[in-house]
Structure 1
Amino acid sequence: MMKPVQLAELPLVVARATLIDEGMTDRHINALVHAGALVRVRRGQYVDGEAWRALGRADRHRLLTRGVMLAAHPGTTATHVSAAVEWGAPVWDLPLGVAHTTRCDGKVGRRRKDWIQHGGALPPTDVTMLNGIPVSVAARTCVEITTITDVERSLVVVNGLLHSGATTEQEFADWARSARYWPHSLATDLVLRLCDTRIESAGESRFYYFCWRQHLPRPTPQVEVYDERGRLVGRVDFAWEEFGVFVEFDGKQKYAKYRRDGETLDEFLMREKKREELICQLTGWVCIRVTWADLATPELLARRVRKLLDSRRALGA
């Protein structure tokens, strides 16, 4: 099972009032910000500059969320994108400059540049403590995401939460059923039908969506291949076994996940090439390698995939 995205130990977000109480002046604070010793996370809230610069986009969003929580009503919970980030889900192409929260009393605050406070009921059973803050439970987070973005981006988040074990398809289905009258929830059912706990990365989720969108046959994720002695020799990202075609999605995450300690990139690529050749020899299948750049031209990629599937069908693969 894939581990969630590794979350950093976050520095403390400090309010201006706290710094003033400690003897600083606004002039001193501004000088520290100008020098880079402090970073203004949001108005009136600061964090250590060196620690900030060491963080990625997701962890910076987590700091923004904590800054919002400092100023928010005590019954405020991180939801939607902010909950997904706390759960360690991939949040491909979602804006992370805005924190999302919901109040337990259902009240909606004024929308701000860096903060959206959603309405709706949020009973205590829908909230859990995660990384020190209250967040919506993962199954609810799945539904929340589908109400604020499109199917493809939602599917990336939902598959990430499913594959990490944060929730299950059944829990998501139960939540989707209970939230069928939520505003902007028309995409929820389609995401539910497309989601698959076996899909391991944002790139794989996008390829799976691409196949549905381009009316290609639905491939099987994570197909295991064994040698003549029954030993597992590899697992391919997707396969159309009836056509004798498999897909390997090439992305940076794969290089980071599967490279061995001390292994150079060239050594990893050579080992990957040998693995692919062995799978082809054992199965008689052919391989399609897909990259993020390929997904940027889906019609062109679809023509290539369809042509290969048609040729394999004609050969009786």
Structure 2
Amino acid sequence: MTESQVDLEGLVRLRRDLLASGMTDPQIDRLVRAKVLKRIRYGAYVQYDLWEQLSPEDRHRLLARAVRARAHSATALTHVSSLIERGISLWGFPLDVVHTTRTGGDHRAGRRQKDWVPHRSILEAEDREELNGVVVSTAPRSAFELTTLGGVERALVAVNRLLHAKAMTMIEFKEQADAHRDWPGSLTTNLVVHLADARLESVGEDRFSYLVFKQGLVRPEPQFEIFDELGTLVARVDFAWPELGVFVEFDGKVKYERYRRDGETLDDFLMREKAREELVCQLTGWTCVRITWADLARPELVASRIRKVMAARKSGVA
């Protein structure tokens, strides 16, 4: 369990347990209307004030426990739900749907519901483990599973986050891809294998790397180190094209939270970042392109701007 995750053991209360404690259905309904209880899904409840305090990820984890409480005993959390249980950052996947797979018996999955997708497969012993008191698919298996849900970009984010967290190795991920070549979605899997990079440090960097690929730009070097005249490391830029004299810095909330010093205001941090950028430009003579989260929604425009900067560098204008 990560430091930011909440211990959810015993928090889900099923209808049958509430009835056994002496409550009636009308009483339960009144508590829900009064916002004393929160109905997570049919027949499953939690204290309302606790639900309000939970992050979207922990709400998903609680929903997953509500699903498992009424599911077949051989049900394991897989796909999106396995990664959320690991505390891995995701992008583009809805968190109001729980994904499961059975760990034994036949391949029957059960009926799909609006908040639950039981996948038709069997999770063998080598592909599952226990985490935070629930059975989940292993990190390499989960990574492969997400590539089958469609969408290269969102699958790439998940795989990179697992790689960067050292929850799995690239070899382990490739082994899963090779072992399931006959599964639907193998083309997405193969592309994610090609694009995955453990060096990327955030969801924003993952998405920018996909933008580079999708827009046909030359692949940059991530986490490029900059040294001063004495050979001292003074900076590490997010992406760089050293041969073109261009580097990219991604501005995102994660960077602010990770690199702000104790007691440092946001303005102080931004001023320090500006001084750092100026130092890099002075030492290298390169041009900086800053990318924001909003820019990622306009990939063609971003790519066009980068191409213009590169063209200016080649012509000696920049």
Instruction: Report the TM-score range of the alignment, normalised by the length of the smaller protein.
Output: over 0.9
Give the direction of change, closer, same or farther, for the CA distance of 1:5–1:228 in structure 2 (3 Å limit): farther
For the residue of structure 2 that corresponds to 1:281, the secondary structure is helix
Q: Distance in 2 between matches of 1:271 and 1:163?
A: 26
CA deviations 1:96-118 (Å, max 9, x no partner) are 11100000233211111110000
Q: Any gaps of 5 or more consecutive residues in structure 2?
A: none
1:8 to partner: Cα distance? 2.6
For the residue of structure 1 that corresponds to 2:122, the secondary structure is coil
Q: Distance in 1 between matches of 2:292 and 2:186?
A: 31
1:91 to partner: Cα distance? 1.5
Q: Distance in 1 between matches of 2:208 and 2:270?
A: 22
Match of 1:36 in 2: 35
Q: Any gaps of 5 or more consecutive residues in structure 1?
A: none
- Give me the CA root mean square deviation: 1.7
The structure 1 segments of at least 4 consecutive aligned residues displaced by more than 4 Å after TM superposition are none
Q: Distance in 2 between matches of 1:236 and 1:130?
A: 35
Q: Does the CA-based 8 Å contact 2:281-2:287 persist in structure 1?
A: yes
Match of 1:80 in 2: 79
Q: Distance in 2 between matches of 1:134 and 1:307?
A: 51
For the residue of structure 2 that corresponds to 1:24, the secondary structure is coil
Give the direction of change, closer, same or farther, for the CA distance of 1:167–1:92 in structure 2 (3 Å limit): same
User: Aligned residue pairs: how many?
Assistant: 315
CA deviations 1:155-213 (Å, max 9, x no partner) are 01110011001101111011111111112222000000000000111111110000000
Match of 1:45 in 2: 44
Q: Does the CA-based 8 Å contact 2:101-2:118 persist in structure 1?
A: yes
Give the direction of change, closer, same or farther, for the CA distance of 1:299–1:5 in structure 2 (3 Å limit): farther
For the residue of structure 2 that corresponds to 1:294, the secondary structure is helix
Q: Distance in 2 between matches of 1:255 and 1:195?
A: 24
For the residue of structure 1 that corresponds to 2:280, the secondary structure is helix
Match of 1:177 in 2: 178
Match of 2:296 in 1: 295
Match of 1:257 in 2: 258
1:120 to partner: Cα distance? 1.7
1:234 to partner: Cα distance? 1.6
Q: Does the CA-based 8 Å contact 1:148-1:184 persist in structure 2?
A: yes
Match of 1:196 in 2: 197
Q: Does the CA-based 8 Å contact 2:37-2:48 persist in structure 1?
A: yes
1:48 to partner: Cα distance? 1.3
1:68 to partner: Cα distance? 0.7
Which of 6, 9, 13 is 1:8 aligned to? 6
Q: Does the CA-based 8 Å contact 1:211-1:218 persist in structure 2?
A: yes
Q: Distance in 2 between matches of 1:28 and 1:156?
A: 45
Q: Distance in 1 between matches of 2:252 and 2:15?
A: 42
Please, what TM-score do these two structures have when normalized by structure 2?
0.95
For the residue of structure 2 that corresponds to 1:119, the secondary structure is strand
Give the direction of change, closer, same or farther, for the CA distance of 1:6–1:313 in structure 2 (3 Å limit): farther
For the residue of structure 1 that corresponds to 2:111, the secondary structure is coil
Q: Does the CA-based 8 Å contact 1:87-1:161 persist in structure 2?
A: no
Q: Distance in 2 between matches of 1:231 and 1:6?
A: 35
The one-letter code of the counterpart of 2:131 is L
1:58 to partner: Cα distance? 1.1
Match of 1:227 in 2: 228
Q: Distance in 1 between matches of 2:276 and 2:291?
A: 17
Match of 2:144 in 1: 143
> What does 1:90-239 correspond to in 2, within 5 Å?
90-105=89-104, 106-239=107-240
For the residue of structure 1 that corresponds to 2:186, the secondary structure is coil
Q: Distance in 2 between matches of 1:111 and 1:308?
A: 50
% identity of equivalent residues: 54
For the residue of structure 2 that corresponds to 1:47, the secondary structure is strand
Give the direction of change, closer, same or farther, for the CA distance of 1:5–1:167 in structure 2 (3 Å limit): farther
Q: Distance in 2 between matches of 1:296 and 1:243?
A: 25
Q: Does the CA-based 8 Å contact 1:5-1:89 persist in structure 2?
A: no
1:313 to partner: Cα distance? 2.1
Q: Distance in 1 between matches of 2:298 and 2:4?
A: 31
